[in-house]
Structure 1
């Protein structure tokens, strides 16, 4: 069964049960109200009978009698309303009517009347009249009347139960019509509520299919405070997290490609240096006094090349940004001198002048290989975009820091490119590399 029908059935059953329960309660309350109204009306009739027919013969002695003609007139009027009464004297004798159709008063009821209590009752069909005949079931009120604290009469006023029940049945019929209309309306309301919930679930399902197809940018309007609204909110958080994760994967892939390209570029420089030195040694073009220095440079570049290869093989560390830096103290002047020697030929081929200005003692605490990569990359870029110009490397001592400035007279950078580089404000502002010289992380 589809969800919409399940929801409709659930809503309809709940609403129907509620309506039936309210209808049953209202029916009982209406029946009680009709019977209470009938009893109250008959009490009023009984009071009216006594007021209109009572005759005080002797106020001092309390001698009371009743006007028979007045009772006859009242009986005629009440008979038109299907109401009957019987009047009894204190001795339980019938005062009116004397036609033999009066009802009996039980001993228990008479005891209550003598105590001044009003008795309300519903007589069944088995009740006997004074003449021994049976009569239909009736709703009755037995009420005593006193004069100067002396019981002078008791009046039994009654109406046929069928007459009272006809009013109850009429109310119940109207109630059934109302319940029928309410159930039809509840069915329509259940359909609209279920349709609304089903539409929200359908939107959520459609959005989930789009996410499965790779669309992580989808968001659903979160305008509900119910469980589905909370589910939509969780769905939006999920897609947001997936989108961020997907973007991070793309960034990692870009970084991987950039790293491989940079690594290949970095490997080219030491390989070129080593190849040049070997070629110089082979053709004996390196002077004898410079061979030791050339071999030392070749060994240094070989070690750096080995470390670059190890870094390339350890891609997982690169992907998770968990590369450990090998920090140590060294003289940056020697490294800058090696950079100038390595890139000197490239500068000459471009008609550039590569100048180094630095004190011979330039202490730095850093990762030697990473620092070397940074200086070589920046200097290479400067030479690449400078032709027949000057590239200057300046090393300075600062307060607990070493400042390396690399500047060129090349084409510079656009404003868009400058936004991606820290501390660059103009096209001719030199790039500054600041390294802490203290022996700390």
Structure 2
């Protein structure tokens, strides 16, 4: 700001100097063939000087480094040889702070006394009637040249430094006022913004505490105007996600408790049966002709326990990625026909019949044991929920894939049940549970995991009272 004030002052002084040069006050007149002399229009120069003095500007005209042509008692600033050399080169010299002086005549005050006595005056020195007056200026020096590019005069224009200091001080005061006003407004705006931001942060804090206390049904209102609103939006998404996760955990826990209850019940029944038969054999209370039947019953109950444990182990192995598939080219028709023969007796117990619509050769790229497990679990699930109906198998080749369908005419499922059948321990209809197979609720969960391991797809279509169709699509081996 100070630099700008000085630059403006120098610019104004330089304009005055150029006006002085172009106004005809200084004229170079030819006297002879070899010299030029400087002619000063005293009247115009004095008028110009009066005008400048009214602006607080002092003018001095140098003809040499230490010689002044106008005015007689001008404020004279010293010019160094180096600066005079620059002036000869046509450069303008700018000074921020300069001290100039002039000789002024002292005012003589005659002493007064009550005694009418004339005393002789003391002897005076030559310059005792004059003193040097000094003044601080901000000035410039502008060179003037003749037609031969010779320096003949230097115009010095100076503005009283105190005037510039006053201007700078005035600007500083104005800036100080502006700073104070801006600071006050800034504090007010900052307080408002801080209150606004703090209010939002407190909402987030309150909502966080509610989530920490287990209440996930929290939503923070936001208008999406700033970063805190974006944070509130993300917080609401997190709360919704936590609420959904909490519901899923509760649902899984409910299924787990149901499974534990079902498993305990299912395990208690065969264990009680086995224990009763063993006690009967130990105490020899079972007739000889019933011993074989009792042993067969124990075998069946033991198989039920083994099947229950194996299904849980299989599910955990599949979910943990322990099981590694050994996929090869297989004939799916042959595998399905063998499974149908194995489960034919079970189907007849429910008065069900098998219907096969398979080609002689149905190539499929799969793991033999796991493919058998998939078809077996779906088939026994169909037997479990079909009474006096039909369970069918069909297969066909697609584009670089094999499609297998297993359908039944059983009780069917609702759309909600279809969405949940892949869940662990889920039972579409616990009241229709078959005691010989499917009692754990893990069969279809295992199917889904094994299908995913094959990078295959499985779809379910079902209608209540009309039946269910499982469609599996196995991709061919990638080249």
Q: Which TM-score band (shorter chain)? A: 0.5 to 0.7
Of Structure 1 and Structure 2, the greater strand share is in 2
Alignment of 1:245-260 (within 5 A): 245-260=245-260
What is the distance in 1 between the residues matched to 2:353 and 2:223? 63
* Residue matched to 2:164: 164
Distance verdict in 2 for CA 1:407–1:269, change over 3 Å: farther
| Partner SS for 1:133 | strand
* Residue matched to 2:192: 192
Corresponding residue pairs, total: 367
Alignment of 1:233-248 (within 5 A): 235-236=235-236, 238-248=238-248
Do the aligned residues in 2 keep the contact of 1:119 with 1:143 (CA within 8 Å)?
yes
What is the distance in 1 between the residues matched to 2:406 and 2:159? 116
What is the distance in 2 between the residues matched to 1:91 and 1:413? 115
Alpha-carbon displacement from aligned partner over 1:390-422 (angstroms, at most 9, x marks no partner):
x415566766989685648xxx98887788784
* Residue matched to 1:139: 138
Do the aligned residues in 2 keep the contact of 1:104 with 1:130 (CA within 8 Å)?
no
Alignment of 1:144-155 (within 5 A): 144-149=143-148, 150-155=150-155
Distance verdict in 2 for CA 1:373–1:357, change over 3 Å: closer
Instruction: Give the drift of 1:161.
Output: 1.2
Instruction: Give the drift of 1:373.
Output: 7.6
Asked if 1:129 corresponds to 2:102, the answer is: yes
Instruction: Give the drift of 1:255.
Output: 1.4
* Residue matched to 1:424: 462
TM-score (norm. length: structure 1):
0.62
Alpha-carbon displacement from aligned partner over 1:148-175 (angstroms, at most 9, x marks no partner):
2244333332232112322222222222
| RMSD across aligned positions (CA) | 5.2
| Partner SS for 1:303 | helix
What is the distance in 2 between the residues matched to 1:43 and 1:155? 7
Distance verdict in 2 for CA 1:393–1:137, change over 3 Å: same
Instruction: Give the drift of 1:65.
Output: 1.9
Instruction: Give the drift of 1:234.
Output: 5.7
Alignment of 1:292-371 (within 5 A): 292=292, 294-295=293-294, 297-307=296-306, 337=345, 355=351, 357=353, 365-366=372-373
Do the aligned residues in 1 keep the contact of 2:405 with 2:469 (CA within 8 Å)?
no
* Residue matched to 1:223: 224
Alpha-carbon displacement from aligned partner over 1:357-415 (angstroms, at most 9, x marks no partner):
569xxxx9449997898478536xxxxxxxxxxx415566766989685648xxx9888
Judge which range, 86-95 or 183-192, deviates more: 86-95
Distance verdict in 2 for CA 1:260–1:276, change over 3 Å: same
What is the distance in 2 between the residues matched to 1:423 and 1:277? 44
| Partner SS for 2:463 | coil
What is the distance in 1 between the residues matched to 2:61 and 2:47? 14
Alpha-carbon displacement from aligned partner over 1:106-125 (angstroms, at most 9, x marks no partner):
34244444444333335545
What is the distance in 1 between the residues matched to 2:77 and 2:468? 123
Distance verdict in 2 for CA 1:168–1:45, change over 3 Å: farther
Of Structure 1 and Structure 2, the greater helix share is in 1
Do the aligned residues in 2 keep the contact of 1:104 with 1:129 (CA within 8 Å)?
no
Asked if 1:120 corresponds to 2:119, the answer is: no
What is the distance in 2 between the residues matched to 1:235 and 1:35? 61
* Residue matched to 1:37: 11
Do the aligned residues in 1 keep the contact of 2:76 with 2:102 (CA within 8 Å)?
yes
| Partner SS for 1:103 | coil
| Partner SS for 2:214 | coil
Instruction: Give the drift of 1:138.
Output: 1.4
TM-score (norm. length: structure 2):
0.58
Alpha-carbon displacement from aligned partner over 1:315-353 (angstroms, at most 9, x marks no partner):
99789967999xx99876676646877xxxxxxxxxxxx
Extract unaligned runs of 5+ from structure 1. 1-26, 342-353, 380-390, 436-441
Judge which range, 146-155 or 414-423, deviates more: 414-423
Distance verdict in 2 for CA 1:46–1:247, change over 3 Å: same
Extract unaligned runs of 5+ from structure 2. 105-130, 324-334, 356-370, 397-403, 422-459, 473-479
* Residue matched to 2:126: none
| Partner SS for 2:102 | coil
Distance verdict in 2 for CA 1:298–1:154, change over 3 Å: closer
What is the distance in 2 between the residues matched to 1:141 and 1:113? 11
Distance verdict in 2 for CA 1:316–1:137, change over 3 Å: farther
Alpha-carbon displacement from aligned partner over 1:239-269 (angstroms, at most 9, x marks no partner):
3543343122112122124324544675698
* Residue matched to 1:89: 63
Do the aligned residues in 2 keep the contact of 1:304 with 1:369 (CA within 8 Å)?
no
